[in-house]
Chains A and B, each alone.
Chain A
Amino acid sequence: DQQVKQNSPSLSVQEGRISILNCDYTNSMFDYFLWYKKYPAEGPTFLISISSIKDKNEDGRFTVFLNKSAKHLSLHIVPSQPGDSAVYFCAASVGYGGSQGNLIFGKGTKLSVKP
């Protein structure tokens, strides 16, 4: 059973607009969440993270929101740029900094930003 779900396989937005990528999880023990960005034939690169004690974390154009009661997080990219076109993976873990578990990844959402 998938513990981390990204239900939208793809998303297309216009340059300059907001991109919103969603992620749902089922394991209430998850307390640390990360977003990765991946270009074709390359390794994923870490983008932004959030711990369960927060509901928002911002880094430049990227903001991650966490709704623990709904077991839902989202990544907002504002404004979207063509270079943001990539696959975005949501990941979660139990016990940040500990040895309680590894990262569990969603299947990814392919974002296309059109000029």
Chain B
Amino acid sequence: DGGITQSPKYLFRKEGQNVTLSCEQNLNHDAMYWYRQDPGQGLRLIYYSQIVNDFQKGDIAEGYSVSREKKESFPLTVTSAQKNPTAFYLCASSMMGGGYEQYFGPGTRLTVT
């Protein structure tokens, strides 16, 4: 089955710890994205990557870092510098950058206490 996987579904961390969220896709898509969803806020873009070894900051990149060493993988690290890390994180991919339809993974709910 082709698709996007995110693991784990639920993640709990103590304040001050870095945590890495996994995102893998087998759709052969070039572009990958990370969004954050908070109640009443819709989807806000954190980082995106249109090609391997290249990525761009989105609207709310502060406190986050990413890497794109393989086409299939786009992990997101939530660092201790992120002031409000508790949120629902969504990874997406598309055929190319820009306006192609994006396909989303099931999301990871991160809770930091």
CB-based contact A41/B88 at 8 Å: yes
A: contact size bracket = 20 to 34
B75 contacts partner chain A, Cβ-Cβ < 8 Å: no
Distance between B50 CB and nearest chain A CB, rounded to angstroms = 6
Q: Tell me whether B68 is interfacial, beta carbon within 8 Å.
A: no
**Are B107's CB and A102's CB within 8 A?**
no
Q: Report A-chain residues with C-beta under 8 Å of the C-beta of B45.
A: 102
Pair count A-B, CB < 8 A:
71
Interface majority SS on B: helix, strand, loop or mixed?
A: strand
Find residues 70-115 in chain A having any chain B CB closer than 8 Å to their own CB.
89, 93-103, 105-108
A92 to B41, CA, bound (A): 16
Interface size on B, residues (CB 8 A): 29
Interchain CA distance A41-B102 in the complex, whole Å: 18
Instruction: Give residues in A with beta carbon < 8 Å to B.
Output: 9, 31-32, 34, 36, 41-46, 49, 89, 93-103, 105-108
